[in-house]
Amino acid sequence: MTESIPDRLRGDFHVHSTFSDDARSSISENVAAAAAVGLTELRLIDHVRQSTTWVPDFLAEVKREPAREGLAILTGVEAKILNSRGDLDTPAHLVVGRGGIDAVVIADHQFPGTDGPWSPEATRDRIANGLVASDALDLLIGALVGAMNNTDGGQLAHCFSILPKIGLDEGQLTEDHLATWAATAASTGTLIEVNEKWGCPGPRAIRAALDAGARVVASTDSHVASDVGRYDRVATVLREAGAE
């Protein structure tokens, strides 16, 4: 990285290691990659479910990493929203804060339905059979608000990535939807990541977040160390949102 790189792109707040079953690089490889490209902040996260037991091992491995001058290493776990109340798929005894992870990263991997997570296919079927798109969007925003309110120091992962999977898009979110979403992020201290892999949230949502005073960060959603801190889509979204 050079001095011309915007400050927002000097962090990568969503990097997976082999503690996730779909990632290829170790924690050490990710840290080395972050240092090599000149990052100043790195959040190492991996996927959890209610049954996950490896979080202490993950934290111990991160702790063994030697300090890198100028690089702050943060931790987190990525958990899906389970329902329209905003409950998360996290282990029962997860420690957040001192002695535990730094943040819970809130993900819309499935649609947060009224009775549990709906797959994209099931959600498309519901929309085709009478679920009004605006009502579906209300459910999603309500679930995100609930999850943020119930999570101290959270972070939104690739927010709204579920929409194209169910045949909708961010353009269908109303100004009220975005204002409520952004204000909740600001009031709860929830970080909003712009995700390289999914290219979301888009410029309109990011502008709403910034106007509300929420903190916007960059992430690659890297599953291999060679992708850490390398941005294309994120830079475009930030530029179009006037965030650089």
d(C-alpha 181, C-alpha 209), whole Å: 8
Buried b / exposed e along 71-99 (16+ C-beta atoms within 10 A): bebbbbbbbbbbbbebbbbbbeebebeee
Give the confidence band of 153 by pLDDT, cuts at 50, 70, 90. confident
Q: Which two tokens stand for residue 11?
A: 């962090």
What tens digit of pLDDT does each residue of 108-149 get?
Answer: 999 999 999 999 999 999 999 999 999 999 999 999 999 999
What tens digit of pLDDT does each residue of 173-207 get?
Answer: 999 999 999 999 999 999 999 999 999 999 999 99
What's the average model confidence in pLDDT over 209-233? 97
pTM score: 0.95
What tens digit of pLDDT does each residue of 7-62 get?
Answer: 889 999 999 999 999 999 999 999 999 999 999 999 999 999 999 999 999 999 99
What tens digit of pLDDT does each residue of 53-71 get?
Answer: 999 999 999 999 999 999 9
Cβ-based neighbour number of residue 49 at 10 Å = 11
**Domains and their CATH numbers in the chain:** 8-240 (3.20.20.140)
